[in-house]
Structure 1
Amino acid sequence: MEFDFLQPLNNEVLKVIEGLSSQHLGSKIVLHTKEQFPDLNKIKIAIIGVLENRGDENAVADIDLSNIRKELYGLFPGNWDASIADLGDIHAGNSTSDTYFALKKVVSSLIKKKIIPIVIGGSQDLTYALYRAYDDLEQMVNLVSIDSKFDFGKEKEEISSDSYLTKIIIEEPNNLFNYCNIGYQTYYNSQEEIDLVEKLFFDGYRLGEVSNNIAIAEPVFRDADLVSVDLNSVKSSDSGNFTTFTPNGFNGKEICSLSRYAGISDKVSLFGIFNQNNSKQESVLIAQIIWYFIEGYHYRSKEYPFGNKENYLKYIIPLEEEELIFYKSNKTDRWWIEIPFISNGHNKLRRNTLLPCSYDEYLGACNQEVPERWWKAQRKNIV
């Protein structure tokens, strides 16, 4: 049984939860204890810890997620009705591949049950195991990473938190349809890596772009399956991480806003937070990031898969050589653009015929400007 990989919460955390009032979040979730395992038939969101950080050479010796749980469960929930469970921790295996295997099995089983896992790591190479969890689901995967780096490595380099993306791209079966990085900082990435992102028709948004207009990230999350957060993307003055000092990055408000965008997306089925440093200060921020993801989940509009077109306004924009078709939701005022489907043997791509976009991209099309993400998505359909 795949859930045998999960170890119950420790007594220290359970004791803190017992001392909370009935109004705190910790009193409203189902816990994995030595005596019982939650009934998953009643669960919508599952929190999982993974005590594996061998992929990060700068990591602290041992991972302790107790502070994160104490901070999270000491918060008050919003007007939430979804059942939440804490399924405990996956301990590090004899090798990192053992940990990947356990995490993949647990997460895959949860997604099949329509449960959204929130994974608290460890090092960010665990994103590779999360990506592999989709292998049994027979679908293409859109990966969004909130990160200051692209995390490319050499082809034969051992997988790590700084190189996991290369393994995702080159390894078969290749189910990656799109990768998008939100918040990269140019001086942390070689020009060769930046060019490679363009060559592969992937997307990247610089830190300054997103900080100046955080709403540009919303359509990206709306099209994501898996969201991976590297806490090093948050500046140290806001995260409290002075072990790996980061002078520039997202502030606390911005990273929580991005987390809420991920939660509100009807399509996101897996959320991971990685590269934490065990500090109590950073635990406060991580708890709030998780809180905002759950808050976003409760405001999902159920617009994916794309529903009855009677609920949308259709806009046709003629260009010189073709026409662009936009849809605007009457319910949420959100926008989509149609991608002409070209059969290339990948029937799994059929679900990508509607691409989330922004109102600004619609206005750009009215001025004969083709949205860059539309162009890249269409190129993926052709090649």
Structure 2
Amino acid sequence: MNFNFLSPVADTVLAHNELLPMQALGRKLKIHSAQEGIPDLQDVSVAIIGVLENRNDINYIGEEFELNEVRKSFYALFPGSWNTTIADLGDINRGESVEDTYFALKTTVSILIQKKITPIILGGSQDLTYAIYRAYDNLMPMVNIVNVDSHFDIGDSAKPIKSKSFVGKIILDEPYNLFNYATLGYQTYFNSQEEIDLMERLYFEAYRLGNVSKDITIVEPVMRDANVVSIDLGVVKASEVSLKQRLSPNGLDGKEICAISRYAGISNKVSAFGIFEYKPSYDDEVTAMLISQMLWYFIEGVNCRVKDDNFLDDNNHQKFTTLAGDEELVFYKSTKTGRWWIEIPFLANVNNKLKKHTLLPCTHKDYLNACNGKMPSRWHKAYQKNSL
């Protein structure tokens, strides 16, 4: 197994780990160390990888990047009632060029996904999401990405890739594998009207910060449909993070970002989860602890996964049909979990991009709205995209 790109967890972190109680997370992980090498991944289902690459950060001025404080915080937490085996595979160091780092990350993520291990990527700049997306090139025909961010990060794809302009590359670079892109927690004043209009034209999903904060449960169906979840720590409001990390007085709070991480974990489809734009600094404890708690909630979610999307057996779900306008809408409700889906009809004589995506996750509220004649916006966007 080719994990040549990974360097071991620092000895200072491992020494700190030895002082922790036996019940702590750090004492239960399989850790890549200089002494022992890469651990056996036989029964591992979640693997943490650090990526020490931040050269494409728009504010990069040559600073080094490391994750030791995050690891110390995470190792010191206590696990929940989990049956998941977790590995910390160490770090991917900066390559000769940023493209070399991308290649190393793409290769490592691809290997892990094929081994049915969910990688958690802790990174510098968020353009690393592009390399994670490319890891799926030979794994599946269509990929859904959720970006938890105050910016859309589309940018100008003709210009070199940066931390605030990587999505344009994902949309326009071959092979064209992106099916849906959703942004959670965007703030309008950080995004140009052109980008907002483009999101609309491409039938991508965008959820404003106010809507997410008002009802955090709207995140769940979006996450249920995601393959890759990428979180920019800049989406968290300034009062929740350390001095160097503060970007905006408005944003998600610690509770909300942890709830979003848990929703990502619960999703049966999410196979790669990344947290980016971490800025280590001398007053680092609070950001490192926030990232640790986000990791904890993601893994907690993974432990709570329930296979409830087998629609071949009628005993697994209830079916509801309602009219909204001229459309007959068909909903399914899982008898196991109570989660809802809506059917997207195949369009005759159209090259159908959706393939397996004919059932779209939704909420009970979507069903109630449809009963009152209101078309769910997720259904409308997926239907339009399918007819392009």
**TM over 0.5, yes or no?**
yes
Q: Name the CA distance, whole Å, in 1 between partners of 2:31 and 2:202.
A: 43
1:371 aligns with 2:373: no
Could you list the per-position Cα deviations for residues 23-78 of structure 1 after superposition, in whole angstroms to 9, with x for gaps in the alignment?
Answer: 00001110111222111221100000000001113247011100000000100000
Aligned to 2:142: 140
Aligned to 2:195: 193
Aligned to 2:127: 125
Deviation for aligned residue 1:360: 0.8
Ranges in structure 2 where 5+ consecutive residues have no aligned partner: none
Q: Name the CA distance, whole Å, in 1 between partners of 2:87 and 2:334.
A: 33
Maintained 8 Å contact 1:139/1:175 = yes
Deviation for aligned residue 1:348: 6.1
Among candidates 252, 255, 258, match of residue 253 of structure 1: 255
Deviation for aligned residue 1:244: 4.2
Aligned to 2:328: 323
Q: Name the CA distance, whole Å, in 1 between partners of 2:227 and 2:251.
A: 24
Q: Name the CA distance, whole Å, in 1 between partners of 2:310 and 2:131.
A: 26
Q: Name the CA distance, whole Å, in 2 between partners of 1:346 and 1:263.
A: 32
Maintained 8 Å contact 1:236/1:242 = no
1:1-383 → structure 2 map (5 Å cutoff): 2-34=2-34, 35-59=36-60, 61-278=63-280, 279-304=284-309, 306=311, 308-342=313-347, 349-383=354-388
Farther-moved stretch of structure 1 (234-243 vs 160-169): 234-243
Deviation for aligned residue 1:241: 4.3
Maintained 8 Å contact 1:241/1:277 = no
Q: Name the CA distance, whole Å, in 1 between partners of 2:348 and 2:106.
A: 31
Deviation for aligned residue 1:286: 0.4
Maintained 8 Å contact 2:310/2:316 = no
Q: Name the CA distance, whole Å, in 2 between partners of 1:346 and 1:104.
A: 29
Q: How much identity, in percent, do the aligned residues show?
A: 55
Farther-moved stretch of structure 1 (206-215 vs 313-322): 313-322
Consecutive aligned runs of 4 or more in structure 1 exceeding 6 Å deviation: none
Q: Name the CA distance, whole Å, in 2 between partners of 1:317 and 1:88.
A: 51
**Residues 1:196 and 1:305: Cα distance change in structure 2 (over 3 Å):** farther
Say which SS state the counterpart of residue 73 (structure 2) adopts.
helix
Say which SS state the counterpart of residue 354 (structure 2) adopts.
helix
Say which SS state the counterpart of residue 42 (structure 2) adopts.
helix
Deviation for aligned residue 1:329: 1.0
Ranges in structure 1 where 5+ consecutive residues have no aligned partner: none
Q: Name the CA distance, whole Å, in 1 between partners of 2:266 and 2:39.
A: 25
Could you list the per-position Cα deviations for residues 184-219 of structure 1 after superposition, in whole angstroms to 9, with x for gaps in the alignment?
Answer: 000000111101000000000000000011111110
**Residues 1:382 and 1:284: Cα distance change in structure 2 (over 3 Å):** same
Q: Name the CA distance, whole Å, in 1 between partners of 2:292 and 2:152.
A: 25
Q: Name the CA distance, whole Å, in 1 between partners of 2:310 and 2:120.
A: 22
Maintained 8 Å contact 1:2/1:102 = no
Task: Give the alignment's Cα RMSD to 1 decimal.
Answer: 1.5
Maintained 8 Å contact 1:267/1:304 = no
Q: Name the CA distance, whole Å, in 1 between partners of 2:254 and 2:310.
A: 32
Could you list the per-position Cα deviations for residues 194-250 of structure 1 after superposition, in whole angstroms to 9, with x for gaps in the alignment?
Answer: 010000000000000000111111100000000000000001111224454321100
Q: Name the CA distance, whole Å, in 2 between partners of 1:334 and 1:51.
A: 38
**Residue identity matched to 1:302:** K
**Residues 1:117 and 1:222: Cα distance change in structure 2 (over 3 Å):** same
Q: Name the CA distance, whole Å, in 1 between partners of 2:129 and 2:162.
A: 10
Could you list the per-position Cα deviations for residues 98-138 of structure 1 after superposition, in whole angstroms to 9, with x for gaps in the alignment?
Answer: 10000000000100111000000010000000000000103
TM-score of the pair, normalised by structure 2: 0.96
Q: Name the CA distance, whole Å, in 2 between partners of 1:10 and 1:122.
A: 17
TM-score of the pair, normalised by structure 1: 0.97
**Residues 1:31 and 1:243: Cα distance change in structure 2 (over 3 Å):** closer
**Residue identity matched to 2:88:** D
Q: Name the CA distance, whole Å, in 2 between partners of 1:83 and 1:5.
A: 22
Q: Name the CA distance, whole Å, in 1 between partners of 2:145 and 2:99.
A: 21
**Residue identity matched to 2:33:** T
Maintained 8 Å contact 1:50/1:89 = yes
**Residue identity matched to 1:65:** L
Maintained 8 Å contact 1:313/1:327 = yes
